[in-house]
A and B are shown apart, each in its own frame.
Chain A
Amino acid sequence: MAITVILPAVLARLADGNKELSADGATVGAVVESLSQRYPSLATRIRDDAGQPYPFVVYYLNDEDIRLAGGFASIVKDGDEVTLVPAIAGG
């Protein structure tokens, strides 16, 4: 199952410069874990020690903030897009 993950520049540099990646997983958390395995230096910036969302990243599943849905447990399906955005923006 292919999920597209969009990274901001500040995180892309930890993923060999890739701003757009393909990853697998049944939930947003699983997708993030998949990326963490592939890019260990990225891991500590996209999830915390407990495997929960990193506090200074906002995660969107198909443009919806996952905090308004199921968080990392949000179910993803083939073709979905997960976008990570630094939390320090706006207002």
Chain B
Amino acid sequence: MRRATIMTSLQTDSDINAIDHSAESTESRHRAPAADKLRPRALRCKLCGSGFEAAPTAVCENCLGPLEAIDADPATLPTRAEISRRPHSIWRYKEWLPFDGEPTLSLDTGYTPLVDAPGIARRLGVARCWIKNDSVSHPSLSFKDRVVATAINAARAFGLDTIGCASTGNLANSVAAQAARAGMDAWVFIPDSLERGKVAATQIFAPHLVRVRGNYNDVNRLCAIVADQFGWGIVNVNLRAYYGEGSKTIAFEIAEQLGWALPTAVVAPMAGGSLISKLQRGFREFSDAGLVSGTPPRLYGAQASGCSPIVQMVLDGRDDVRPVVPDTIARSIAIGNPADGRFAKAAITQTGGWAAAVSDADLIEGIKILAADTGIFTETAGGVTVAAALALAREGRFSANDEVVLCITGNGLKTLEPIVDTLPESPVIDAKLREVRALVNAVVNSA
């Protein structure tokens, strides 16, 4: 316990070494090894099963399939009681994350609220509805904090001093924030048309911010080449095997926050497609560990109509990704060439779910409905999720017995542009009581 307390304040390798050396000098007589140092797990190919040593690489040398970290030894998995005693962060589920040993960075990320949403439940015609509210994720107000928390720990363990990303905004915010507090250099690549709030929320952390002419597809292509050339840890390229695992913690938290139970359905936004496939894996891993029982939830994917390549795969029943040029105000999920599209589609169909695409007008309405019913102000991607859930309900995809979780992955304060012009003008008055009375009377008379 003492060591765990010390580790929470570590920021640099030299700090770690200092502690390790200190521990050696005082505890060596008790044979205390430096066993807590974080060690990324070995990798295997999701397609051909080839195994590889732990490394900052995400592509199988044999078949070019995606790599993922190997699972923990089932004998080492904790019980519900053991998990419950741990700090409220993603690391309370550390055995299911792609490391052995103790993390040293971003120890405070995760365990966001699961908010009861009876108003949304009524709109959907289901028994219960909750909002998994990652709009208040720490430190940068989106679910990307989870994946960056795992990726930055991998980068540190691999001895990399620079991390980076190709981003539609939220990932840029999180990489910049978490690199800043870790004392690491960050190179962040974004489309040049991103919302000002997301640009500012990146720049404040003083990364090397590069605005690329074009859309996310162009940024992504560039970063895939950059990762090959500079020896950096591009979190969603060559650190992707470690990065993606952080998304599973949303599933773990939902299950624990529901009292170690599973919802019957989950609706999540889709961009590159990783989140929804990791939700499937997370729920399955908790079932396999005996922490929850019952049928895994049906997974439903949401995209904006102006960029819906994964929804189209589900609707058409095909497995090949057909890229599109994004045209939507939901820029945070505007990925026309989704890297994990086939895995997202598989997660949806294997769980008995479905997918829906919604217009920009509908997603704005979704933002307002969520705000009115739950007090949560989400960004455009959250509006897509709410609007898609309503569309799915109209299609009859839910039953009256369903218990549904909506994943709200980002904060509305970062993307004010699409919403401000849709809101009513507020009255401006002199500071006089009679003017307030006049306003109140006007409201009462109009009711």
Contact = CB atoms under 8 A, between A and B. Distances in A.
A88 B240 contact: yes
B277 to A, nearest CB: 11
A86 B59 contact: yes
Q: Classify the interface of chain B: helix, strand, loop or mixed.
A: loop
Given A8-B228, A67-B322, A67-B323, A89 B64 contact: no
Interface stretch (A21-29, A30-38, A53-61, A72-80): A53-61
A68 B273 CA distance: 20
A90 B64 contact: no
Given A8-B228, A45-B64, A83-B221, A88 B59 contact: yes
Given A90-B236, A91-B274, A85 B221 contact: yes
Contact of B221 (A19, A58, A68, A91): A58
Contacts of A87: 64, 339
Nearest to A44: B63
Interface string B207-225: 0000000001111110111
Nearest to B274: A91
Contacts of B325: 68
Nearest to A10: B59
Interface residues of B, number: 37
Contacts of A86: 58-59, 64, 224
A6 to B, nearest CB: 7
A56 B341 CA distance: 12
A55 B60 CA distance: 13
B51 interface: no
B306 to A, nearest CB: 15
Interface string B76-94: 0000000000000000000
B59 A90 contact: no
A9 B58 CA distance: 12
B169 interface: no
Nearest to B273: A91
A63 interface: yes
B164 interface: no
A91 to B, nearest CB: 1
A66 B322 CA distance: 11
B61 interface: yes
Contact of B64 (A10, A19, A65, A67): A10
Interface in B263-322: 271-274, 320, 322
A88 B221 contact: no
Contacts of A68: 323, 325
A85 B224 contact: yes
A89 B323 contact: no
A83 B225 CA distance: 9
A89 B322 contact: no
Interface in B336-352: 337-340
A88 B322 contact: no
B237 interface: yes
Nearest to B343: A88
A8 B225 contact: yes
- Top 7 A-B pairs ranked by shortest CB distance? A91-B272, A90-B220, A56-B64, A88-B66, A89-B224, A85-B224, A86-B59
